[in-house]
Structure 1
């Protein structure tokens, strides 16, 4: 037995003592690394750092764009309150409403040019006649339905299904004159030159007559030259109907000729 053990273990052997050489099976636990996620005890490496936050410039751009959208929305709502309803009625998309806004601005420019020319004309008339000028701007749009006036052979209805003639309708009654012509932007322009004895005709009577037949008064200017009064009225028809300038001229001619204005009172 001793020979076998000596051939297998050529080195001296002591009983009760075991010795193993080689790498340790378990590594000591690092308390700091134990709390880290994705910690690899074999590699002993910390997890990768989190991605850096976005730079402040990108955050600033996002905030600026959000603020810009809010301001544009507020400006768009304000713009809709400034446009007349008949321009944007039935238009739901933003592009259509903006196109109607452009058209409204162009119409306003045309009206400004026309009124500027009219102002220069009135100033020249004042300088030649030596009278005083009084200008009245009014906007009257009655929501109620117009009160129809009695239709007679001498006073037919003003409204017609077709558009009126493009030529000026002029009627003269002694020293007074009536001129009615269509406007480029729609509606009609009525010019009343009232001289004695028809100078008692009040402007309110003429305005009531136009409103009673479904018209909306936008601008009214008056010029007084000695004893002659010149009224210029710009009116439009509500509801998309057309107006005959000759019929309107006939009504106003009767007003000037008769001096009995109670027949046409509202």
Structure 2
């Protein structure tokens, strides 16, 4: 029986001895696998990053394209909404004849560019007209100042009518005639036909004439058009009309 007992112990011993290397092999393999999975790699800040962390980063990066796609859709939707608002604002500033019918946004943009160019040209033309009218006004004012003593000397105290000549916008001329009602009764009516003849002789086209009575004085307002306002000397025309109205 002793040998049998010895044999059992030997078997147990053999089993324990044989089982221990197997456990050591499993532990070493696990350590090798863990060490291999956590192999250190150099990082930007001088530290080291394991492969396990890199795998997690790759998982996060893999999920980024979906989020980027959503963000891209939102940005595109907001951009289209903003473009629609800006296009509606642009259409509200354009004349009606430029936006009639079904037109695309590109056609509206082209019409807006052409319209802006036309506005710039009109602004330049208006600036040129303003400078021309300013020059004519300064010239007529200086000439009227020079002819002032001649007008007062020629008319004297018998002057009961007064004529004022001035320029208006759009190359027009306005003549305002002021005369007393007593003077009209003495000469059997104011000689308006003589004023109109002088205006036609000077190249003016009479388009409107109106009259009103204020404080026993009669006022005539005559609107005229002229082809070239710069060539017309308003001060001399005023002197001629005043001399005609107050001459015997």
TM above 0.5, yes or no, is no
TM-score (norm 2): 0.38
- Whichever of the two has the greater Rg, that structure is 2
TM-score (norm 1): 0.36
Pick 1 or 2: higher relative contact order, CA cutoff 8 A, min separation 6: 1
